[in-house]
Amino acid sequence: MTAQDWIRKKRDGGELSPDEIKDFVAAVVEGGVSDAQAAAMLMAMFIRGMNRAETVALTKAMLRSGEVLDLSGVPGCKVDKHSTGGVGDKVSLVLAPLVAAAGVPVPMISGRGLGHTGGTLDKLEAVPGFSVDLAADAFARQVEREGLAIIGQSRAIAPADKILYALRDATATVECLPLICASILSKKLAEGIDALVLDVKFGRGAFMEAVDDARELGQALVDISAGMGVPATALLTDMNDPLGRAVGNALEVVETVDCLEGEGPSDLMEVTMALGVEMLAAAGMGESEEDRRGRLREALDSGRARERFDRFIAAQGGKPEALRDGARGLPHAHTVLPVHAPADAAGYIKDVDARKIGRAAMILGAGRKRDGDTIDPAVGVSDLRKRGEPVGARDVLCHLHINDDHGREEAVRLCRAAFRFVSDKPESRSMVLERLQPVTAL
């Protein structure tokens, strides 16, 4: 079949066979189809949709378009976690050493931030000397030796995804659910993992704002991962408010250290512990949820999780001494500006708009408007007041960390607008809405 045959078949509502999808992906990587033809196919997939069998075939083809890491020599069940991204989401930085300290190997390929959401790699690179680039054999050795490694996607891993993602961005097909699933899973399963836990976020600061959309994405991800032979579960977690009290790369590393020393914000630790329980369960560790929580709590309280974090930082070229004494070795902004509540504020904080806080941090230089933009690791927002906390006139709501006065006034305006107040204390709510597991036969 020619490229026109594949496009015509999907355009007319037909189901592509696994071989047709494999041939299309191979042609994309090898230059056998033009950008125009690949874009036409993406639009046909977007409009006509793809069933689960097609999406599994697409994921397999994208996965096998490049290198698949072999971690079979690493003892134990290798489990990774993936988040769909949010504001203040430094969960991976806390979770990976915590789960590794509890005895489960965690190989992780992560990404960079774009827009109002932050990236794990950007946060780690705020630590002097830290490298996110490891060759496949070094990655495997580190997972075996330290129990975890976090790296970026190399050119050899799922090269089809890089090509197709750029075309999706240019053709307004980013929101296509099967293409989202294939993009995420082709990279995660290239790690050579045995199981996967997904943190699918909903709310104002999430990629999928509506709960139903997040649920649909989460269910598709766990079903397709299962269809690929890798067991997966997903948690739907709240991203209406920023997660934790810090947004910005170095600031979030500081908060990570706080968490690993038992002083983390309750919302951040709730999500981290819930995902940790899922990862231990996926590895077959522990007899009950209570037992798994106990293992994670012991890894925290004993200091083993913090020690594992320092070892991990050092193993990838970073300087763990930069994280001591209040993390004074990390980049710091030259100006720290308080943002005050209005003069008539009284009562409690009802909520904090995560998207507005994320945009403020991005304007200050903590995030990227487009791929390739340079970020400032020192800037962002810290000391965020949280939902349910009392507030009075002119109280400090947060601090802005600023290196460039450009955008300063807009960042202050966004932060002030992010907070809403009520007279009565709002009820507490769980950060985890529900748990998803595979239900669709493939």
- How many other β-carbons are positioned within 10 Å of the β-carbon of residue 60? 22
Q: Which residue among the candidates 22, 82, 359, 387 is catalytic per the annotation?
A: 82
Q: Which residue among the candidates 110, 183, 225, 382 is catalytic per the annotation?
A: 183
Q: Which residue among the candidates 22, 90, 168, 368 is catalytic per the annotation?
A: 168
DSSP class of residue 433? E
Q: Is 168 noted as a catalytic residue in this protein?
A: yes
* DSSP structure string for 388-428: T-EE-TT-EEEEEEES--TTHHHHHHHHHHHEEEESSPPPP
Angle at 239 between CA 346 and CA 324, to 5 degrees: 85
**DSSP strand pairing (347-352 vs 390-391):** antiparallel
Q: Is 155 noted as a catalytic residue in this protein?
A: no
Distance CA 283, CA 196 (A): 10
Q: Is 183 noted as a catalytic residue in this protein?
A: yes
The conformational region for residue 158 under phi > 0 = left, psi -120 to 50 = alpha, else beta, is left
Backbone angles phi, psi at 170, to 5 degrees: -75, -20
Amino acid at 186: S
Q: 409-427 as b/e, with b when 16 or more CB fall inside 10 Å? A: eebbebbbebbeeeeeeee
- Give the residue carrying structure tokens 């899922």: 278
- The residues with which 237 forms a beta bridge, in sequence order, are 201, 432
Q: Which residue among the candidates 23, 80, 122, 161 is catalytic per the annotation?
A: 161
Q: Which residue among the candidates 78, 187, 188, 387 is catalytic per the annotation?
A: 187
Q: Is 340 noted as a catalytic residue in this protein?
A: no
- How many other β-carbons are positioned within 10 Å of the β-carbon of residue 215? 18
Angle at 69 between CA 67 and CA 75, to 5 degrees: 170
Which runs of E-coded beta strand occur in 64-158?
79-83, 106-110, 148-152
Q: What dihedral angle (degrees, nearest 10) is formed by the CA atoms of 208, 210, 214, 220?
A: -100
Q: Is 22 noted as a catalytic residue in this protein?
A: no
Which sequence positions are flagged as catalytic?
82, 161, 168, 183, 187
